[in-house]
């Protein structure tokens, strides 16, 4: 074997492993992910997120996990930020990138994010003393990065440069700086200093910035999108990633798991466009999965309608036989507990109605004894069901976003404007994924006909007895919807 062939063989091995500790591999593309809770991941990881992860999609943990080491490339199995975080846009960003890039290209992500972090706390010049007055949960998040997320991102990015080439930065932040015009300048400072510290040319790396939950989707911080829209005027390399039509999980701040997947695909589409790929393959469908209708199972915590109190606030009425609740003006009815109950062993609260709500209905969950303290507020937005994730449940305080202490729940119930009846079917806490039944098996007579997704990618040759993920597919020239 001559020297040239031997060099090619060695290079191929390094590409396959995506780990070259001694020299940059131009076929190993690295993306830095930075921000607050929506980049950290605030939706539970589901089975679809753990299946069929491409071998060419890697992650470098920025903290130590129980089974992963900081600074060491590994499989991109969620969660990608820290051990107890959730699904992020980075998950389906990486999947979509490798689907559209040549087989010799590997994609790696590094995710440093802190729930509730204002842009100032992601800055290089953060004074750790300013964290002393923050809540304990937030200080604990920051300690994971030695009280300097910027320094940790830089540390890992420099380590990553030994293996590959940094190709882009994904940012999702703004909820803690909602509507602040100075935000663009602060983002530019971080961007400019990060490139300089990494030895990269100014404005040489695309900065992809995701929108917050839009106001029309019930987002509390939708007004910040008008600020984000101005960022490309300040940073020429910046591109805005739309959150249009993406549902939020009910707290007005965070996206659903489905929305995180779609948002990640949109980040990838924006990045691929900078590479000249304007018609990419996007296998995950933006079609909203079917609304589930789950039933409680053995071991679930049932909120008994017979003990429903319609007058926790204002004079309401309730019929525990029909489940009809009529609240007083700005009324609240539900269940109160003293001492509090522990729901930390459950993943979801499911609140289902017999008819869609009509008067601003919210599910509220209190981790304090006072009714006047802030609670989780999940909006139904006209839907007959609300599925609230207990793991990662947040409340929107005047001082910022804070987690709900699900081990001490004093009150669960329904708030609304009052007057119109609310038709309550059931409320329960569960560990069973309510969305699992949203995937249906489709019976097709001619199973020999090839099925494609809307991007033209082949899904299967033979669908006999197969189950398809939610989406829209092409079969014999017809569209079939799986929801």
Domains of the chain, residue spans: 3-274, 301-431, 439-482
Confidence of residue 480 (pLDDT cuts 50, 70, 90): low
pLDDT at residue 5 greater than cutoff 60:
no
Percentages helix, strand, coil for the chain (3-state, rounded to 5) are: 25, 25, 50
Residue whose C-alpha is closest to residue 349's, from 327, 372, 367, 330: 367
| Beta-strand runs (E) in 345-482 | 348-353, 362-366, 376-379, 385-389, 394-397, 400-403, 409-416, 422-430, 451-453, 458-460, 471-475, 478-482
Question: Mean pLDDT, to the nearest integer, of 424-430?
Answer: 96
% of the chain at pLDDT higher than 70:
85
Burial class of residue 143 (count of CB atoms within 10 Å of its CB; 0-12, 13-18, 19+): exposed
Catalytic residue selected from 49, 121, 251, 367: 251
251 is catalytic: yes
Question: Mean pLDDT, to the nearest integer, of 31-59?
Answer: 94
pLDDT at 14: 39
Q: Residues 368-390: pLDDT tens digits?
A: 999 999 999 998 888 899 889 99
Structural domain 3-274, CATH architecture: 3-Layer(aba) Sandwich (3.40)
Confidence of residue 366 (pLDDT cuts 50, 70, 90): very high
Q: For residues 239 and 270, is the Cβ–Cβ distance under 8 A?
A: yes
pLDDT at 440: 40
Q: Residues 152-190: pLDDT tens digits?
A: 999 999 999 999 999 999 999 999 999 999 999 999 999
Which contiguous run of DSSP H or E holds residue 149?
helix 149-161
Question: Mean pLDDT, to the nearest integer, of 129-137?
Answer: 92
301-431 CATH fold = Jelly Rolls (2.60.120)
- Whole-number Å distance between alpha carbons of 32 and 37: 16
Range with the poorest average pLDDT among 21-25, 126-130, 170-174, 385-389:
21-25
Confidence of residue 452 (pLDDT cuts 50, 70, 90): low
Task: Find all residues with CB under 8 Å of 373, minimum gap 6, and list them.
Answer: 366
pLDDT at residue 462 greater than cutoff 80:
no
Confidence of residue 446 (pLDDT cuts 50, 70, 90): very low
- Whole-number Å distance between alpha carbons of 79 and 88: 8
12 is catalytic: no
pLDDT at residue 475 greater than cutoff 80:
no
% of the chain at pLDDT higher than 90:
69
pLDDT at residue 448 greater than cutoff 60:
no
Confidence of residue 469 (pLDDT cuts 50, 70, 90): low
pLDDT at 18: 39
pLDDT at residue 463 greater than cutoff 70:
no
pLDDT at 471: 52
Range with the poorest average pLDDT among 108-112, 340-344, 347-351, 355-359:
355-359
Q: Residues 265-298: pLDDT tens digits?
A: 999 999 999 999 999 999 888 887 766 778 899 9
Catalytic residue selected from 20, 25, 37, 224: 37
Q: Residues 396-419: pLDDT tens digits?
A: 887 777 889 999 999 999 999 888
CB neighbour burial string for 371-381, b if at least 16 within 10 angstroms, e if fewer: eeebbbbbbbb
pLDDT at residue 210 greater than cutoff 60:
yes
Catalytic residue selected from 172, 224, 254, 258: 254
Question: Mean pLDDT, to the nearest integer, of 44-70?
Answer: 94
Confidence of residue 456 (pLDDT cuts 50, 70, 90): low
CA 71 to chain centre: 23
Cis peptide before 349 (omega within 30 of 0): no
């Amino acid at each position: 074997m001559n020297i040239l062939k031997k060099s090619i063989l060695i290079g191929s091995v390094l590409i396959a492993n995506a780990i070259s500790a001694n020299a940059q591999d131009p076929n190993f593309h690295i993306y830095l992910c930075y921000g607050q809770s929506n980049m950290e991941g605030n939706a539970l990881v589901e089975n679809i997120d753990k299946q069929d992860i491409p071998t060419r999609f890697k992650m470098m943990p920025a903290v130590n996990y129980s089974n992963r080491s900081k600074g060491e490339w590994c499989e991109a199995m969620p969660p990608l930020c820290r051990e107890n975080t959730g699904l992020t846009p980075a998950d389906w960003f990486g999947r979509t990138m490798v689907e559209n890039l040549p087989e010799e290209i590997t994609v790696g992500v590094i995710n440093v994010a802190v729930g509730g972090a204002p842009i100032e706390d992601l800055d290089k010049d953060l004074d750790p003393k300013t964290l002393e007055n923050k809540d304990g949960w937030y200080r604990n998040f920051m300690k994971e990065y030695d009280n300097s997320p910027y320094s940790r991102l830089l540390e890992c990015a420099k380590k990553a440069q030994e293996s590959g080439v940094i190709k882009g930065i994904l940012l999702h932040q703004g909820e803690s700086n909602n509507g602040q015009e100075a935000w663009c300048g602060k983002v530019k400072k971080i961007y400019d200093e990060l490139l300089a510290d990494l030895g990269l040319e100014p404005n040489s790396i695309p900065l992809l910035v995701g929108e917050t939950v839009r106001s029309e989707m019930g987002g509390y911080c939708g007004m910040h999108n008008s600020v984000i829209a101005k960022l490309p005027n300040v940073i020429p390399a910046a591109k805005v990633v739309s959150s249009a039509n993406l549902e939020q999980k009910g707290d007005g701040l965070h996206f659903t798991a489905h929305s995180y997947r779609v948002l990640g695909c949109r980040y990838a589409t924006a990045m691929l466009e900078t590479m000249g790929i304007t018609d990419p393959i996007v296998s995950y469908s933006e079609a909203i999965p079917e609304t589930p209708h789950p039933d409680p199972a053995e071991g679930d915590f049932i909120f008994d309608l017979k003990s429903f109190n319609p007058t926790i606030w204002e004079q309401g009425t309730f019929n525990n036989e029909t489940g009809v609740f009529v609240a007083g003006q700005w009324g609240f009815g539900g269940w109160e507990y003293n001492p509090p109950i522990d729901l930390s062993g459950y993943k979801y609260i499911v609140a289902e109605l017999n008819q869609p709500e009509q008067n601003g209905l919210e599910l509220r969950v209190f981790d304090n004894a006072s009714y006047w303290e802030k609670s989780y507020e999940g909006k139904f937005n006209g839907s007959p069901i609300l599925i609230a994730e207990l793991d990662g449940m947040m409340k929107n305080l005047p001082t910022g976003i804070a987690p709900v202490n699900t081990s001490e729940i004093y009150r669960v119930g329904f708030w609304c404007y009052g007057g119109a009846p609310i038709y309550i079917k059931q409320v329960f806490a569960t560990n069973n994924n309510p969305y699992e039944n949203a995937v249906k098996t489709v019976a097709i007579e001619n199973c020999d006909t090839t099925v494609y997704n809307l991007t033209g990618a082949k899904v299967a040759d033979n669908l006999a007895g197969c189950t398809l993920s939610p989406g829209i597919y092409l079969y014999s020239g017809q569209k079939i919807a799986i929801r």
